[in-house]
């Protein structure tokens, strides 16, 4: 019994001495303090395991400069107060996710988090998507910047939010040319309360904002909240307002559709070839100065009719003009017969007596419309020319016959005169 008690007291004393005294190994002091703390390189450890060393790994996997080395016999991992390096890939895992913080004596700030489901948050520990960047500061801080610097040329993409009151945001693209010169800036802005809460597309070589966020880039295109789009103007006056340039559509159509009532009625302008275009619509096309003004040119695409200063074209007519028309030449191609039939030997030529009697009775030539008919129905240019030619040819035939009669009378007169002269000579 005494032997056991003596052994127990001896072990207690040895343990007390080991906790209170340093254990030197390879000139490194290892202290087991009475609080159960272990120190390497110092005799006053402030934590359960405290290593004191100097120097740094310097971005290299250098075992001689490592504060703490972990090894599986083949691969190694080295630690110092600022760096962790290794000879193989590093895997960081935790069941509850991973957080990265900025820490100082006053506390900490969450900088980055990775949730167990794979969402990554920068500036937030509750990312709302697979990649969520959030700033806690008010101002024009760049939420996300992607940059590529090659020699003296820099290309940069920034995603920016202005502040919580204006709720403005933008995507800012910058190019710094090699050899100097103005930086080129492209911006896609959600302007928030700054500019009537719309979307702007801007470009410029300089900015007026001091932080280089290009909020004041000249707008090249805007989209208003009501859907109006302006190109070349910041104040569109219609659904699509283009100023200072042309609209070009290559090998396709421009279609204007009315889909308010579930239909696709509308019109369009189409491309046929390099020298032709097509205008198409479901029914009619009206050319006018504005919706409130009268139609200047009207086209009915169903019947193929066209009116100038009128939308009323009689049936069976293709073209109507309400007003005077002037032209250098009009060509009429007749689908009926041309009045050469007048010169046919079998044609019955009305006598002048018959024509005289008809004129006295009707006050117009036979086969011609009356003044009342012309006032009511107008005239057909081709038909009227044919009728006029018919009358001219009839007059020509009468003139020819009259000339034949005159020639015959002259011949008779010459004979009579000769006979009279002969009788006189005999007397």
Confidence category of residue 287, pLDDT binned at 50, 70, 90:
confident
Residue 186 has pLDDT above 80, yes or no: no
The confidence score (pLDDT) of residue 58 equals 83
pTM: 0.46
**Sign of the CA dihedral running 187, 188, 190, 195:** positive
Residues 33 and 84 in one domain: yes
Structural domain harbouring 378: 339-426
Helices (H), 269-380: 352-362, 371-377
Residues 16 and 45 in one domain: yes
Residues 309 and 343 in one domain: no
Nearest to 170 by CA among 149, 140, 132: 140
Distance from C-alpha of 31 to C-alpha of 36, rounded to nearest angstrom: 9
C-beta contacts of 328-333 below 8 A and 24+ residues apart: 330/381, 332/381, 332/382, 332/385, 333/382
The answer to whether residue 248 is domain-embedded is: no
The confidence score (pLDDT) of residue 239 equals 86
Confidence category of residue 370, pLDDT binned at 50, 70, 90:
very high
Q: Count structural domains, the chain.
A: 4
The answer to whether residue 101 is domain-embedded is: no
Residues 319 and 364 in one domain: no
Residue 145 is encoded by which pair of tokens? 């910047």
* Residues 380, 386, 388, 393, Cα dihedral to 10°: 180
Residues 319 and 347 in one domain: no
The tokens 């920068």 sit on which residue?
122
Confidence category of residue 291, pLDDT binned at 50, 70, 90:
confident
The answer to whether residue 331 is domain-embedded is: no
Residues 13 and 73 in one domain: yes
∠ at Cα 388 (383, 389), nearest 5°?
95
Distance from C-alpha of 36 to C-alpha of 22, rounded to nearest angstrom: 13
Nearest to 286 by CA among 270, 297, 301, 302: 297
Distance from C-alpha of 63 to C-alpha of 55, rounded to nearest angstrom: 12
Residue 313 is encoded by which pair of tokens? 């074209």
The answer to whether residue 231 is domain-embedded is: no
Q: Are 214 and 170 in contact (CB under 8 A)?
A: yes
Q: For residues 155 and 25, which has the higher predicted lDDT (pLDDT)?
A: 155
DSSP state of 345: T
**How large is the average pLDDT for residues 368-390?**
90
DSSP 277-296: EEEEESSEEEE-SSTTSPPS
Q: Are 386 and 338 in contact (CB under 8 A)?
A: yes
The answer to whether residue 10 is domain-embedded is: yes
The answer to whether residue 106 is domain-embedded is: no
Q: Are 181 and 168 in contact (CB under 8 A)?
A: no
- DSSP-based three-state secondary structure for 326: coil
∠ at Cα 386 (382, 392), nearest 5°?
145
The answer to whether residue 122 is domain-embedded is: no
**How large is the average pLDDT for residues 342-369?**
93
**Contact residues for 83 (Cβ-Cβ < 8 A; gap 6+):** 56, 57, 59
Instruction: Express each pLDDT in 131-177 by its tens digit.
Output: 888 765 544 455 677 666 555 456 767 776 655 555 566 777 777 66
**How large is the average pLDDT for residues 27-48?**
72
The confidence score (pLDDT) of residue 32 equals 61
Confidence category of residue 2, pLDDT binned at 50, 70, 90:
very low
> Where are the strands (E) in 80-218, listed by range?
84-86, 98-104, 107-114, 120-122, 131-133, 142-150, 153-161, 169-176, 184-190, 199-204
Burial grade of 244 (CB within 10 A; 0-12, 13-18, 19 or more):
exposed
Q: In what order do the strands lie in the sheet with 76-79?
A: 68-71, 76-79, 84-86
Residues 320 and 343 in one domain: no
pLDDT averaged over every residue in the chain: 78
The confidence score (pLDDT) of residue 229 equals 92
Across 6-15, 42-51, 187-196, 243-252, the highest mean pLDDT is recorded for 42-51
**Sign of the CA dihedral running 412, 416, 421, 422:** positive
Radius of gyration for the alpha carbons in the chain, expressed in angstroms and rounded: 53
Q: For residues 166 and 338, which has the higher predicted lDDT (pLDDT)?
A: 338
Residues 217 and 150 in one domain: yes
Residues 351 and 386 in one domain: yes
Residue 266 has pLDDT above 90, yes or no: no
- DSSP-based three-state secondary structure for 265: strand
Residues 344 and 312 in one domain: no
The answer to whether residue 238 is domain-embedded is: no
- DSSP-based three-state secondary structure for 333: coil
The residue from 90, 118, 146 where one domain ends is 90
Residues 320 and 356 in one domain: no
Distance from C-alpha of 194 to C-alpha of 160, rounded to nearest angstrom: 15
The confidence score (pLDDT) of residue 163 equals 54
Residues 313 and 348 in one domain: no
The confidence score (pLDDT) of residue 412 equals 93
């Amino acid at each position: 019994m005494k032997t056991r008690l003596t052994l127990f007291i001896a072990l207690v004393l040895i343990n007390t001495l080991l906790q209170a005294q340093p254990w030197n190994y390879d000139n490194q002091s290892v202290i087991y303090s009475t609080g159960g703390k272990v120190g390497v390189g110092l005799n006053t450890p402030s934590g359960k395991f405290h290593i004191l060393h100097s120097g740094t790994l310097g971005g290299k996997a250098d075992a001689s400069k490592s504060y703490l080395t972990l090894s599986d016999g083949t691969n190694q991992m080295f630690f110092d107060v600022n760096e962790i390096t290794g000879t193989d890939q590093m895997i960081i895992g935790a069941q509850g996710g991973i957080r990265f913080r900025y820490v100082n004596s006053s506390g900490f700030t969450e900088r980055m988090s990775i949730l167990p489901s794979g969402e990554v948050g920068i500036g937030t520990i509750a990312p709302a998507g697979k990649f969520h960047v959030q700033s806690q500061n008010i101002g024009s801080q760049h939420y996300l910047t992607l940059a590529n610097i090659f020699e003296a040329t820099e290309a940069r993409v920034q995603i920016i939010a202005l502040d919580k009151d204006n709720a403005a945001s933008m995507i800012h693209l910058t190019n710094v040319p090699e050899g100097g010169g103005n930086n080129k800036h492209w911006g896609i802005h959600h302007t928030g309360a700054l500019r009537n809460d719309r979307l702007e597309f801007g470009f410029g070589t300089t900015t007026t904002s001091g932080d280089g966020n290009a909020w004041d880039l000249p707008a090249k295109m805007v989209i208003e909240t009501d859907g109006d789009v302006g190109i070349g103007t910041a104040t569109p006056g219609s659904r699509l307002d283009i100023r200072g340039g042309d609209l070009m559509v290559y090998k396709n159509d421009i279609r204007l559709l009315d889909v308010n009532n579930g239909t696709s009625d509308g019109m369009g302008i189409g491309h046929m070839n390099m020298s032709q275009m097509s205008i198409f619509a479901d029914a009619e096309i009206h050319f006018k100065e504005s919706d409130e003004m009268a139609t200047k040119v009207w086209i009915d695409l169903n019947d193929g009719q066209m009116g100038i200063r009128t939308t009323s074209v009689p049936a069976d007519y293709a073209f109507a003009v309400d007003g005077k028309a002037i032209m250098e030449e009009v060509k009429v191609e007749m689908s009926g017969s041309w009045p050469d039939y007048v010169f046919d030997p079998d044609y019955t030529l009305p006598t002048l007596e018959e024509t005289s009697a008809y004129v006295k009775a009707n006050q117009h030539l036979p086969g011609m419309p009356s003044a009342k008919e012309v006032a009511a129905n107008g005239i057909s240019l081709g038909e009227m020319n044919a009728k006029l030619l018919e009358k001219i040819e009839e007059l020509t035939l009468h003139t020819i016959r009259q000339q034949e009669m005159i020639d015959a009378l002259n011949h008779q007169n010459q004979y009579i005169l000769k006979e009279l002269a002969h009788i006189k000579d005999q007397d």
